[in-house]
Amino acid sequence: MGIQAVRILDGKACAEQIRREIGEQVRRLRADGMRVPHLAAVLVGDDGASETYVANKVRDCGEVGFESTVVRLDGGVGEAEVLAKVAELNADEAIDGFIVQVPLPGHIDEQKINLAIDSAKDVDGFGPENLGRMCLGLPAFVTATPNGVMELLARNGIATEGKHCVVAGRSNIVGTPLSILLSRNASPGNCTVSIAHSRTKDLGELCASADILIAAIGRPGFITADMVKPGAVVIDVGTTRVADSSRASGFRLAGDVDFDSVAPKCSWITPVPGGVGPMTRAALLQNTLKARQRRQDISNV
Ligand code: GUN
């Protein structure tokens, strides 16, 4: 095949566009005298990455005109106290949706927390009802990163039908839901999907057969040029903090894809940062707006 120019899938610009659209809808709610969406985030402990993620979510809310609340709990808090906070947020009429930032400290069972969140407020879409509804093609809060990836494909007009898509990583948050979305009879969708994981044999060969390669492993630079088919679309979900003494923060964010060697082979590729990350954040805003719109008291001030 001939050499084609690689195109960058600009998640930052795409997310800005989505925030503008959401901001416009919030202005309309306000103009109609209605209450604006309100997102709450529960942050347990003081994990640096989680602090940054939650701070970004709060900033995004401010930018589009949402209200936001951060609930901070000490890292030594017991599971019962987190569950009590979840129950409180479930019952709080002023909160349209909330998330419990993960990872949680090891002594707290994340699944138990997910099961306790009211599905109508589960804007992360981590709970069984939303995941199940998504599988069935019913209206649901779709997990933010998979939703963001689908938006990125859709808004850039990337054809997916009949393509072989390899999703490397089978997490409940990213790999598993994304593999379902990509295989469903929808647009984007209709891919033939392979899910690869730590026990997959000949992973490199499998990846090299992908028309669309999604890297969601969490190992910086894992995907190298020999694992990529010429002309492939490469989506890098990885955002691992790696030490970098040249930065004031002491780290930089590294994707799962060895960008410099892989990019020249691709038709499209997401950068890290500025690819999937901003789309994940935008997708959470979309879900929160949807949660607000679905509340029965939509006409309340
Ligand atoms: N930790 C990393 N990503 C996410 C996310 O999308 N939601 C929550 N709750 N925690 C996360």
**What pLDDT does 5 receive?**
85
Cα 301 to middle of ligand 1, angstroms: 30
Cα 31 to middle of ligand 1, angstroms: 32
Q: Show the beta-strand stretches assigned E in 104-198.
A: 164-168, 192-196
Asked if the model's pLDDT at residue 196 lies above 90, the reply is yes
Question: Is the CB of residue 151 below 6 angstroms from any atom belonging to ligand 1?
Answer: no
Q: Whose CA is nearest to atom 1 of ligand 1?
A: 102
> How would residue 249 be classed by pLDDT, with cut points 50, 70 and 90?
very high
> How would residue 296 be classed by pLDDT, with cut points 50, 70 and 90?
low
Question: Is the CB of residue 15 below 6 angstroms from any atom belonging to ligand 1?
Answer: no
**What pLDDT does 1 receive?**
47
Reported as a single tens digit per residue, the pLDDT across 102-146 is 999 999 999 999 999 999 999 999 999 999 999 999 999 999 999
Reported as a single tens digit per residue, the pLDDT across 141-160 is 999 999 999 999 999 999 99
Residues 221-234 have a mean pLDDT of: 98
- List, in order, residues 6 or more apart from 228 with CB less than 8 Å away: 207, 208, 210, 213, 234, 262, 265, 266
Polymer length in residues for the chain: 301
Q: Whose CA is nearest to atom 6 of ligand 1?
A: 144
**What pLDDT does 297 receive?**
53
Q: Whose CA is nearest to atom 9 of ligand 1?
A: 101
Reported as a single tens digit per residue, the pLDDT across 27-45 is 999 999 999 999 999 999 9
Single-letter amino acid code for the residue at 202: D
Residues 78-105 have a mean pLDDT of: 98
CB 75 within 8 A of CB 88: no
Reported as a single tens digit per residue, the pLDDT across 45-87 is 999 999 999 999 999 999 999 999 999 999 999 999 999 999 9
Question: Is the CB of residue 101 below 6 angstroms from any atom belonging to ligand 1?
Answer: yes
Q: Which residues of 2-18 are buried (b: 16+ CB within 10 A; e: fewer)?
A: eeeeeeebbbeebbeeb
Token pair in block for residue 214: 């999604």
Residues 208-221 have a mean pLDDT of: 98
